[in-house]
């Protein structure tokens, strides 16, 4: 069975800044599905970098070749940490850092 990768579409990039788009890079935070994760592989991360405009094809290819088994997990951790900062701001509440 061939591995499928997340297809990044313009609707994934509506935050106005790559940091906001990263924090929202899950399938659905409001009603999460059992498999809500969009970053399942280094290829998904590489494709996101290229679709977001943060990397060209050559740079994205280099990301997709990262063999560190924790790389994708670390990207997810950064995403979740940024969500913890941005979500209260978007909701008009004090952030956890205040």
- For residue range 5-52, list pLDDT tens digits in order: 888 988 889 999 999 999 999 887 777 778 889 999 999 999 999 999
Secondary structure in 3-state letters for 75-89? HHHHHHHHHHHHHHH
Q: Give the SS3 label for residue 26.
A: strand
Is the whole-model pTM more than 0.75? Answer: yes
- Domain locations in the chain as residue ranges: 11-26+37-90
CA distance 97 to 85: 8
Query: Count of residues for the chain?
Result: 98
CA distance 22 to 14: 10
Asked if 18 and 25 touch (Cβ cutoff 8 Å), the reply is: no
Asked if 60 and 50 touch (Cβ cutoff 8 Å), the reply is: yes
């Amino acid at each position: 069975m061939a591995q499928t990768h997340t297809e990044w579409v313009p609707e994934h990039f509506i935050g106005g800044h790559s940091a906001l788009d990263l924090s929202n890079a899950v399938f659905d935070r409001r009603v999460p599905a059992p498999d809500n994760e969009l970053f399942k592989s280094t290829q998904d991360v590489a494709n996101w970098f290229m679709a977001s405009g943060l990397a060209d094809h050559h740079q994205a290819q280099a990301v997709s070749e990262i063999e560190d088994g924790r790389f994708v997990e670390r990207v997810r951790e950064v995403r979740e940490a940024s969500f913890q900062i941005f979500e209260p701001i978007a909701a008009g509440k004090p952030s956890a850092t205040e």
